[in-house]
Amino acid sequence: MGKLSGKVAWITGAGTGIGLAGAKALAQSGATVVMSGRREDVLAPEAAQIRAGAGKAEVAVLDVADSAAVARVAEGILARHGRIDILVNSAGVNTTNRFWKNQTAEGWREVVGINLDGTFYTTQAVLSAMRARGDGVIINVSSWAGVFHPRLTGPAYNGSKHAVTAMTETINMEEGVNGIRACTICPAEVATPILDRRPVPPSAEQRAKMLQPQDLGDVIRYVAELPPHACINQLIISPTLNRIYIENL
């Protein structure tokens, strides 16, 4: 029996990277995890692997930029389980053409639609049920670019992640009185597939020195397992060898 036994956790971006690591860690702690992402062929085998390890995992295919679809998935989870105790917003994207010289309106809308709008839609979809229970944990994966201003990530990503960081704290402002806690996790470089969309993707040697998805999974689990009276508002984490400090990326 893990600390999260009996809890239901909904994780977006759960097919790969930080979202997948978070889903695995929460399932290991006893939570039933509902894994959302855009590709069932990616999600289904990962959920099966969690179940093979005696965890509880479901798949709910979702594009978080679609507000109506988000509402339907949330309603489905609540109909099946009667609760959503933990929401992890890990769906995120950036474009290769990400600087003012080549950023397009279409690329801007994709990044903001997933990183910011999607986080708003899922949060809005769970708050009512959390209020009714007087308890809930919302964990939003922002970025180093949601606190600082790295050049590498570009205006759409930086803007969306700063907005996620600010928006998350308003949840604590308004909903703490209802027993709801929100945390923004702001990692520097993590070795996830999003790195492949950089103009110059880092090498395997460079990725090996970055934070790994499991590191963030452990952080997500730690935040979710805290007692109801404790809230980590924001957590900034970086690799010990933080290339943002020493290189012109």
Residue closest to 196 by CA, chosen among 208, 207, 212: 207
CA distance 55 to 62: 22
Residue closest to 149 by CA, chosen among 183, 186, 184, 182: 186
Query: Is residue 19 within 8 Å of residue 83, measured between CB atoms?
Result: no
Q: How many C-alpha atoms does 144 have within 13 Å on its Cβ side?
A: 17
Catalytically active residues, by annotation: 157
Q: How many C-alpha atoms does 23 have within 13 Å on its Cβ side?
A: 33
Residue closest to 14 by CA, chosen among 25, 1, 4: 25
What does the block give as tokens for 27?
A: 């399932």
